[in-house]
Amino acid sequence: MAISAAATESGNPAGHKIKTSVAAVFALVFGVCALVCALTVLLSPAALVLGVIALILAAAGIAMSRRPHVEAKASPSAGLSPACSR
């Protein structure tokens, strides 16, 4: 079994496919939506709900990033920033 050059260059010598946590990506999306809603006065209650959802998803994304072959520590952290700005 040959290991591809791209796999060895990216620091993945076994050639396993690196996955991104879905919860981490959704945490980022919900965090940005919460930030946009918080900037408008009429959507402030929605910003609170979206921010809480983003916090929960970010915690799940960070927990999932501890698994082998799952890479996404920056996405949930980036989702936490706008979610906490409320």
What does 4-70 look like in DSSP terms, one character per residue? PHHHHHTT-TT-PPPB--HHHHHHHHHHHHHHHHHTSSTTHHHHHHHHHHHHHHHHHHHHHTTSTTB
- In a domain, residue 5? The reply is no
- In a domain, residue 30? The reply is yes
**Residue 44: domain span:** 20-84
Higher local confidence (pLDDT), 10 or 34: 34
pLDDT tens, position by position, 11-45: 555 666 767 778 888 888 898 898 899 898 888 89
Residue 57 contacts residue 79 (beta carbons within 8 Å): yes
- In a domain, residue 7? The reply is no
pTM for the whole structure = 0.66
- Mean pLDDT across 48-53: 91
Total number of domains constituting the chain: 1
- In a domain, residue 1? The reply is no
| Residue-level pLDDT at 49 | 93
Q: Which amino acid is at 76?
A: P
